[in-house]
Amino acid sequence: MHRRLPTQNRTGWASNQLNEVSELFVAHCRLVTRPVLDIGAAFGLASLAAIEAGATVYANDLDPAHLAQIPPAENLILLPGRFPHDLHFPENSLDAVHASNIFHFLTGPQLARGLKSIAHWLAPGGKLFVQAATPWQKPFEAFIPVFESRRAAGVEWPGWIEKTADYSTHRKLGQIPSSIHLLDDKTLLTAAETAGLTVEESTLYRRRDLPRSLFHDGRECTSLLAKK
């Protein structure tokens, strides 16, 4: 059954069902020879599936208490710390990076720096799998016109909300940080290309595990698949 597990550091909820992007990451893990990185791994759903598929996985999370709940597994390396600045890997050392429902917690400059690091860490042919929240979610309805006018004006990070309470009255607002960075396909595509990655696909969609209370118009989520 689909259930959401609240994070312990008020960074939203972790899913107990792989979303479409995480599933592609796991499928890619059947082909890898170098380790892979799961950023914002939380309780390890995608990390454990990637290990099951044959990969050695670095599971990163800001909250060590989340990582401590992942059952120990061979080929699982826990890496507590804040992406991007606490993570360091040699150039060309990873075959895949997975970031599901974590990039919307980064500021624009953090995201730009993080994508540059990912481009450095990935081996040639290595892949990046991203899933993130967009402004087209019911609780942020009031922000959509602001986002759209910023985007039309060419603002670099149009989805940055300094104070979520200014736009949303969602009853569970306390479970997300007071600032958030809602992303879209175009912003992610530009940021990934600027970092030197080749974008294979960037879309707007509704992930299969999205709670009904967030439903708006089918564009609630964004995905990015990119390659070095």
Q: Angle formed by the axes of helices 108-121 and 185-194, to 10°?
A: 50
Q: Would you say 83 or 121 has its CB closer to ligand SAM?
A: 83
Stretch that binds ligand SAM, among 3-11, 150-158, 182-190, 196-204 (CB under 6 A): 3-11
> ∠ CA 222-223-226 to the nearest 5 degrees?
145
Size of the site for ligand SAM (CB under 6 A): 22
CA distance 109 to 94: 23
- What is the footprint of ligand SAM within residues 34-93 (CB under 6 A)? 39-42, 60-63, 66, 82-83
Residue nearest to ligand SAM (CB): 40
State in angstroms the smallest separation of the CB of 149 from ligand SAM: 28
When the beta carbons of 86 and 149 are compared against ligand SAM, the nearer one is 86
Q: For 57, phi and psi rounded to 5 degrees? A: -120, 130
| H or E, element range at 47 | helix 45-52
**Comparison of 67 and 119: residue with beta carbon closer to ligand SAM:** 67
CB of 152 to ligand SAM, least distance (A): 29
Output Rg (C-alpha) for the chain, integer angstroms: 17
What token pair was written down for 14? 């972790």
How far, in Å, CA of 17 to CA of 14, rounded? Answer: 9
Q: Which is nearer to ligand SAM, 39 or 55 (CB)?
A: 39
Using rule CB under 6 A, residue 102 touches ligand SAM = yes
**Structure token pair of residue 98:** 């997975």
Binding segment toward ligand SAM, per CB under 6 A, in 11-19, 143-151, 199-207, 219-227: 11-19
| Cα 50 from Cα 202, distance rounded (Å) | 22
Does position 105 interact with ligand SAM (CB under 6 A)? The reply is yes
Closest distance to ligand SAM from the beta carbon of 86 (Å):
8
Footprint on residues 125-184 left by ligand SAM (CB under 6 A)? none
28 counts as binding ligand SAM under rule CB under 6 A: no
Angle at which helix 45-52 crosses helix 20-29, to 10 degrees, equals 30
Q: Contact at 8 Å (CB) between 58 and 79?
A: yes
The residue ranges that bind ligand SAM (CB under 6 A) are: 7, 9, 11-15, 39-42, 60-63, 66, 82-83, 100-102, 105
